[in-house]
Amino acid sequence: MERIEHINLARIEWCCRDYSIEPAQLAAHLGIKVTAIEEVLRGERGLTFSQLSKMAAYFGRGVLFFMESGQVDENVVHSMQFRTLANQKPEISPELKKLIERAEKQRDVYLGLQEDLDDDERIAFSPPALPADPVGAARIVRDWLALGDTNDFHSYRAAVEAKGVLVFRSNGYNGKWQIAKESSILGFTLYDDVCPVIVVKKQAFESMQSFTLMHELGHLLLEKKSSIDEDIEMQSHEGNERSANAFAGHLLVPDAFLQVINDNERPDDVGRLDDWLKPQRKFWGVSTEVILRRLLDAGRLPVALYTAYRAYRAKTSITDDGGGSREYRYREPKHIFGDRFVATVLGALYERRITLARASTYLDGLKIKDVHKLGQHYARL
């Protein structure tokens, strides 16, 4: 089989460093021996086009990237937002790095389609001026988002998207839009003064996703920079993470909400706290822990009880269904990319500004029949 000899080996080495993998890992992915990839890197052996294509896909690059001359300019290959996240969490996996780049590409797609719309149809990201105090900022942002008293993850997401922020959620299936279940990363935000992006990891309970969404919104609005967060940061009491947590807690559960909770009815058994707060959890779309944390900060909950509840939850197994039935595959782009993105793609398709094949590509590779079913789904809403 004919092999391609003129490959820029320095670019393969750069990609390996960039994704923190050893040549042996690359060899395993390509299905070749370690000695073979070592020969490639010494310039003693070429790659077949199939192998080169597979390697390019693995690194999220085009085939021509590895055939161009010259060194890699990281400032060109990676955006400032990507570099911010990579520097904040140098240990993040290659799969997560590729997901970050995909999110950036989806934003570019969205902005490109928005350029063809009339000005009055576009949604501008224009956040209000906020104080440094996260509690005061949460009050202003809650009004800005026009949140009612009853919410869930979907209404929170819609409110944020209505202000010009794209909100993506990873899916529950193995694939390019999944954040691995074993990963401690819960979300990240890519700051942009035109169209920022928030990515939330799919979790077992949507109430958990609500807190992640508002935590990332806190980073975006209070700091005006990109950020990536693990579960440990969602509990942090230091620096910017403390501010983002306070912002999210007060935005989701304002002081006025706490007045409906009767402390005299609070059980001493941590196993009954979920039932005690079930009505509030349902109405507000938040977890028991978020409410307990607000009560703790308000001086209405003993520290020992809050600590005991967290220990109790840590021992309680949570079942994740893995993402649901594939019978509704046509709806997955809506769950991943949100209504704002999907509606923009479908609008461009029906106005004949993009082809059906292009729309399929933008919508997570949906089959043509599923693109039609998705369009019919939106027509019924």
From first to last of the 381 residues of the chain, give the pLDDT tens digit: 688 988 999 999 999 999 888 989 999 988 899 999 999 999 999 999 999 999 998 888 999 999 999 999 988 899 999 999 999 998 888 889 999 999 999 999 999 999 877 766 778 899 999 999 999 999 999 999 999 999 999 999 999 999 999 999 998 777 889 998 889 999 999 999 999 999 999 998 899 999 999 999 999 999 999 999 998 888 777 888 999 999 999 999 999 999 999 999 999 999 999 999 999 999 999 999 999 999 999 999 999 999 999 999 888 766 554 444 566 889 999 999 999 999 999 999 999 999 999 999 999 999 999 999 999 999 887
Quick one: 265 and 287 in the same domain? yes
33 closest CA partner among 23, 20, 43, 21: 23
Looking at the chain, the number of H-run helices and the number of E-run strands are 19, 4
Residue 330 sits in the same domain as residue 311: no
86 within a domain of the structure (yes/no): no
Q: Are 285 and 257 in contact (CB under 8 A)?
A: no
Residue holding tokens 């039932």? 275
Query: Given this model, what pLDDT does residue 321 score?
Result: 45
If you write DSSP's letter for every residue of 75-130 in order, what string do you get?
HHHS-HHHHHHHHH-TT--HHHHHHHHHHHHHHHHHHHHHTTS-GGGS----PPP-
Residue 222 in contact with residue 244, Cβ under 8 Å? yes
Beta bridge partners of 227: 189
Q: Which domain holds residue 204?
A: 119-315
176 and 309 together in one domain: yes
What lies within 8 Å, CB to CB, of 175 at 6+ separation is: none
Q: DSSP for 206-263? A: HHHHHHHHHHHHHIIIII-S-EEEEGGGGG--SHHHHHHHHHHHHHHS-HHHHTT--G
Q: Does residue 106 belong to any structural domain of this protein?
A: no
What 3-state class would DSSP assign to 143?
Answer: helix
Asked if residue 286 is part of any domain, the answer here is yes
Residue whose C-alpha is closest to residue 204's, from 95, 103, 316: 316
Last residue of a domain, one of 264, 284, 315: 315
Residue 294 three-state SS: helix
DSSP structure class, residue 42: T
Task: Give the Cα separation of 142 and 159 in Å (integer).
Answer: 10
Q: What is the pTM of this model?
A: 0.91
Residue 109 lies in a domain: no
364 backbone φψ class: left, alpha, beta (φ>0; ψ -120 to 50): left
| Burial state string for 256-284 with b = 16 or more CB within 10 A and e = fewer than 16 | ebbeebeeeebeeebeebbebbeebbeeb
Token readout for 345 is: 């793609």
Domain end call among 77, 104, 132: 77
CATH number for position 14: 1.10.260.40
Burial 356-366 (b: 16+ CB within 10 A, else e): eeebbebbbeb
CB contact at 8 A, 47 and 7: yes
Same domain, yes or no: 135 and 280: yes
Cα separation of 82 and 100, whole Å?
Answer: 7
The answer to whether residues 155 and 197 belong to one domain is: yes
Same domain, 223 and 305: yes
301 and 260 housed in the same domain: yes
Domain-terminating residue out of 77, 106, 133: 77
* Encoded tokens for 192: 């942009």
Q: Are 297 and 344 within one domain?
A: no
Return the closest-CA partner of residue 342 out of 327, 357, 364, 325.
Answer: 364
Number of domains in the chain: 3
Lookup result for tokens 């707060």:
277
Q: Are residues 238 and 172 in the same domain?
A: yes
Q: Are 191 and 88 in contact (CB under 8 A)?
A: no
Tell whether 245 is covered by a domain: yes
Same structural domain for residues 307 and 344? no
**Strands, sheet with 166-169, edge to edge from the N-terminal-most edge strand:** 166-169, 197-200, 185-190, 227-230
88 occurs within a structural domain: no
The per-residue pLDDT for 72 is 93
Tell whether 350 and 296 lie within a shared domain: no
Side-chain-side CA neighbours of 119 within 13 Å: the count stands at 0
| 132 and 206 assigned to the same domain | yes
Q: Indicate whether 332 belongs to any domain.
A: yes
Q: Establish if 2 belongs to a structural domain.
A: no
Q: What is d(CA 92, CA 87) in angstroms, rounded to the nearest whole number?
A: 10
Show the CA angle centred on residue 190, arms to residues 153 and 124, nearest 5°. 75
Q: What is the pLDDT of residue 322?
A: 46
